[in-house]
Structure 1
Amino acid sequence: MRRFRLTLRARLTVVYGLLFLVAGLVMLVLTWALVQQRLIGDASIVSSSYCCTAPGEEAPSFDPAAPTPPAGAEQNYLYTVKIVGAARDEALGALITQGAIAVVVVGAIAAWMGWLVAGRMLRPLSTITETARRIADAPDADRRMHERINLTGPRDEVTELAETFDGMLARLDTAFDAQRRFIANASHELRTPLTLNRALIEVAAERPDASPDLKLLGETLLEVNARHERLIDGLLLLARSERELGERRFVDLADVAEHVVDEARARTTGDPAAPPIELIADEAPTAGDPVLLEQLVRNLVDNAVRHNLAADGWVRVTTRTDASGRALLEVTNTGRPIAPYELDRLVEPFRRLDGERTGNGSGAGLGLSIVRAIVEAHDGELALVTRPGGGLVVTVRLPGESYATTG
């Protein structure tokens, strides 16, 4: 559960109310001190001047502090002091009690007015928040950037914030439009040569005088070409949707790993520098795009083979379901030691560690960056850890999927 937290409007209201109460209490204390000082001065004058004077008589002249005041003056003086002191205490008590009640009542009214004023002042912020949330929660968020706040009102900090937000939306809208155009152009430019290659291979493989070896080669090339077409479609789909995949299907990572490892073993057969690949394939059901998940495993296996030792190297591919029910894929390989601070660079596009490649492939530095994009699209986690003896342990965790929910 989310921890309860006061809204900005409520916090402003509390601040308004507390400030008013503090100011009212300070004013009440100052008033009480001033009134008390004045009443004490008046009481001393009254008690010293009129304690022993009857109506119409002139006030006797005596010193109240004298050791022997006139006869009867002492009793009148004490009685007068008592009456004046009681009246003073009652007046000061009424001032404190009634003043405190007035401060509390007026403070409550001030807090209520502060709530209304804060709500009106924060209404433009609510408009900005609603617009941002509506754009962010839309399934086609990249196509909703044309919306604007268009906040009207006096030129203040909130209006400047709204205009800045509108400017940011305009720039994002332009960037997404450019990205969509680039994806459309790249899709056309990438599909065209693949379509042409497929047509040429089919024509060459179906010629009447084609040898069995040529037909077998044609079938292999057609399969590779078809895989590349599926991969391009999947990557373009991934580029169009940064939030989530459009369609998710049941996939067992164990089946994908077996297929990819078999391909890798077939490619490296007869290569003395290729490390052996060990496969431990336990069930690891998940949901996602099969083409992208296959490419994820292939990139990890190819990287593990390529970035390995020239001799006595090995690769281990493991799939299983972890204790939390998530599908886990782990690819471990030997290789030269890698510093922990270099791990973040490995998942960046076009970043490679120089001097560690074996075999014929040169790579383009996109393998792990594509892996990270695919993992994030499937709401998964990617972790890279260095092995003590050299090499990497790459772990991918994807949300689990039950066999009972498929079909």
Structure 2
Amino acid sequence: MLRRLALTTRTVRLRFTALYGVLFLLSGAGLLVITNLVTLGQSHVAPALPPVEQHTLAATQERISRLQAQLLEMEETQTRQLLIGSVVALAVMAMVSLVLGRIVAGRVLRPLRTITAATRRISAENLHERLAVPGPTDEVKDLADTIDGLLERLEDSFAAQRRFVANASHELRTPLATMRARLDVAVAKPEPIPAQTMALADRLRTELDQIDRLLESFLTLARTQHGALPDRATISLGRMVSAALDARAADITARSLTVHDGGIHDSAWTQASHTLVSRMVDNVIDNAVTHNHDGGWIRVTATAADASALLIVETGGRVLDQEQVARLAQPFQRLGVDRTGSGNGSGLGLSIVAAIATAHGGSVDLHARAEGGLRVTISLPLTTAQTGVTA
């Protein structure tokens, strides 16, 4: 609360208000000082007395003394009233100067507030919008035009990157498909094929499949980072997790892994891309299965908490370094072979998970468990389940 109050007191409008208020106040104080000096200077000028006769000298002196006493009393009264009036006028002027300063500051900063609100509204999905601030050519309009130029360059850059991703998706898959087709033709000839050739063909197929998966992961990461969110729908994280575990039942059995149900509820619903969230869930489950020890365990939780749909996947293992774990959300980052005894993986799995969660307004937390192993917590905006939605 104190921090919010401190930030509020440092706004540009408040600084302008203080500046204009002080300037108005100083101007008024100077005007009052000059007025008081001129008035007091004039009040001390004694009027010239006419000459008097000798025989009335004593009476005249007595009368002069009375008049001087009266004048002195009037001057003191006038000075006191003038000072009181000056203080009251200065207080009124201080209040008026603050009000005028705030009004002037608000009018000066109004175009900047408009620019700020419009800039916050513009994101990667509506870069075509422009500020288009009207008015004469001044510093504010120059700033708005500069931001419009920047938005135009960003729009062109995003469009070029999207075209690159779309073209790369086609151009890079074509030679892979051609290589796989030629390999199949070569091993399908009727004459006997040496065993070494068949072994080499199997290795090449494995490498081609790995390249294809790597390419698919890279393109998914690129599309997600550029805001491409297809087939948005209301989906259930719990149902997706159950489907992902069922699809990997054979791999889980082969490695003798134990899956603990930490609470897979049907309350974790979110509005998101079905394709991307399905890939996100598959990646985090694959990561838990692949980077695990034979005979290890996995605990999966899908639930709703506050305004978030949560997916938590935990695995056991050795104690990990939190700094290294935090870097797993970056592309091509691995913990090494000695984490699980397996060097498989492209280093893109958790980075894709993080990119998909961020694109949907969520987050991913990677935490090294104190007892050993890893906990992955995915948070997505919670929404209400819709009738007829079965995702």
- The structure-2 alpha-carbon separation of the partners of 1:256 and 1:59, relative to structure 1 and needing over 3 Å to count, comes to farther
Name 2:299's counterpart in structure 1. Answer: 316
Aligned to 1:250, which of 202, 214, 234?
234
- The structure-2 alpha-carbon separation of the partners of 1:79 and 1:315, relative to structure 1 and needing over 3 Å to count, comes to same
Aligned to 2:25, which of 21, 25, 32?
21
1:346 deviates by: 1.6
1:390 deviates by: 1.4
- Say whether the 8 Å CA contact 1:150–1:166 is kept in structure 2: no
User: Matched residues in 2 for 1:255 and 1:96: separation?
Assistant: 80
Q: Deviations over 1:247-279 (max 9, x none)?
A: 4323222222122223333125434xx643334
SS at match of 2:254: coil
Structure 2, unaligned runs of 5 or more = 186-205
Larger radius of gyration: 1
- Say whether the 8 Å CA contact 1:307–1:356 is kept in structure 2: no
- The structure-2 alpha-carbon separation of the partners of 1:196 and 1:275, relative to structure 1 and needing over 3 Å to count, comes to same
Aligned length: 357
Name 2:285's counterpart in structure 1. Answer: 301
Name 1:341's counterpart in structure 2. Answer: 323
2:281 is the counterpart of 1:286? no
Cα RMSD for the two superposed structures: 4.9
- The structure-2 alpha-carbon separation of the partners of 1:59 and 1:390, relative to structure 1 and needing over 3 Å to count, comes to farther
User: Matched residues in 2 for 1:169 and 1:325: separation?
Assistant: 32
- The structure-2 alpha-carbon separation of the partners of 1:29 and 1:246, relative to structure 1 and needing over 3 Å to count, comes to farther
Structure 1, unaligned runs of 5 or more = 63-69, 204-220
- The structure-2 alpha-carbon separation of the partners of 1:294 and 1:59, relative to structure 1 and needing over 3 Å to count, comes to farther
Deviates more, 1:343-352 or 1:284-293: 284-293
Name 1:176's counterpart in structure 2. Answer: 158
SS at match of 2:317: coil
- Say whether the 8 Å CA contact 1:329–1:397 is kept in structure 2: yes
1:334 deviates by: 1.4
SS at match of 1:336: coil
Name 2:359's counterpart in structure 1. Answer: 377
- Say whether the 8 Å CA contact 2:20–2:97 is kept in structure 1: no
Name 1:57's counterpart in structure 2. Answer: 52
2:158 partner letter: F
- Say whether the 8 Å CA contact 2:127–2:152 is kept in structure 1: no
User: Matched residues in 2 for 1:88 and 1:340: separation?
Assistant: 81
1:303 partner letter: N
- Say whether the 8 Å CA contact 2:320–2:373 is kept in structure 1: yes
- The structure-2 alpha-carbon separation of the partners of 1:354 and 1:397, relative to structure 1 and needing over 3 Å to count, comes to same
SS at match of 1:365: coil
1:315 partner letter: I
User: Matched residues in 2 for 1:33 and 1:108: separation?
Assistant: 24
Name 2:68's counterpart in structure 1. Answer: 80
Name 2:243's counterpart in structure 1. Answer: 259
1:179 deviates by: 0.7
TM normalised by structure 2 equals: 0.69
1:12 deviates by: 3.4
Deviates more, 1:368-377 or 1:73-82: 73-82
- The structure-2 alpha-carbon separation of the partners of 1:175 and 1:150, relative to structure 1 and needing over 3 Å to count, comes to farther
Alignment of 1:84-99 (within 5 A): 84-87=72-75, 89-90=77-78, 93-94=81-82, 97=85
TM normalised by structure 1 equals: 0.67
SS at match of 2:85: helix
1:399 deviates by: 2.8
User: Matched residues in 2 for 1:13 and 1:140: separation?
Assistant: 38
